Amino acid sequence: MASENCLTANAWICGEYISSRRDELIDATGEHVLITVSAVAIATLIAFPLALVAHRWRLAAGGILSLTTVLYTIPSLAMYALLLPVFGLSSSVVICGLVLYSLTILVRNIRAGLASVPADAREAALGMGYGRVRLLFGVMVPLALPSLMAGVRIATVSAISLTTIGAIIGYGGLGNLIYSGMDSYFKAQVLTASVLCVALAVVADVLLLVVQRLLTPWTRAARTA
């Protein structure tokens, strides 16, 4: 009987809530994933050239790293308030905010990865006739992948967490359920949405780790050597 009355009893753990609100949970999870993936993908595309410039020109490195760090320190509420006049009340506000927050993580990790490429590897490639573009994408990027993927993993987990704050404008994925559940003190909704958010972060991190290992098989060989 306890399971049948968990909704009226406002229990934290309620299977009836999950079964009766399944579509709502799926939609919120889908929105959460879409916002996170879009933000991290866009941030990676922007961070790569910024990291490359910071790697090649030390004078530019300080400015780029300082700017991305300053963006990361802006409170979420203030960030969304600044972006609302530009994008209006839409998911673009949340995505853009997450992109800006992800830059400091990605730029630093990509730059560190590029800097870790051994000079011998670069010189050997140049001696074989590699041009700058081929050297970058054929030698430096593959060797920098472990650091790059580490940055993507951190940025993804961070974005999954920060997406929930988008609930203040109605585009927070699972955050919408968490905030509305807190307003009505609906325990099962708050707990279920929170657990799903944590599960998303864990699954995303594991999947990206698997992708990293598939893309960098030489790192496994180095460990076993």
223 inside domain: no
Q: Does residue 160 contact residue 201 with C-beta atoms inside 8 Å?
A: yes
Q: What is the pLDDT of residue 3?
A: 45
With vertex at residue 97, the alpha carbon angle to CA 190 and CA 64, rounded to the nearest 5 degrees, is 140
pTM score of the predicted model: 0.86
What's at 28, amino acid-wise? A
What residues have CB less than 8 Å from 63, skipping those under 6 apart?
none
Q: How far is CA 140 from CA 70, 113, 125, in A?
A: 28, 8, 10
Q: Does residue 51 contact residue 114 with C-beta atoms inside 8 Å?
A: yes
Indicate the number of domains in the chain. 1
Domain CATH for 96? 1.10.3720.10
224 inside domain: no
205 inside domain: yes
52 inside domain: yes
What is the domain extent for residue 57?
Answer: 29-215
101 inside domain: yes
3-state helix, strand, coil in the chain (%, to 5): 85, 0, 15
How crowded is the C-beta side of 10, counted as CA atoms within 13 Å? Answer: 7
Q: Does residue 111 contact residue 168 with C-beta atoms inside 8 Å?
A: no
7 inside domain: no
pLDDT tens-digit map of 1-52 = 444 577 777 778 877 878 888 888 999 999 999 999 999 999 999 999 999 9
Please list the ranges in the chain whose pLDDT falls under 50.
1-3
21 inside domain: no
pLDDT tens-digit map of 19-33 = 888 888 999 999 999
76 inside domain: yes
Please state, in angstroms and rounded to a whole number, the distance separating the CA atoms of residues 224 and 143: 18
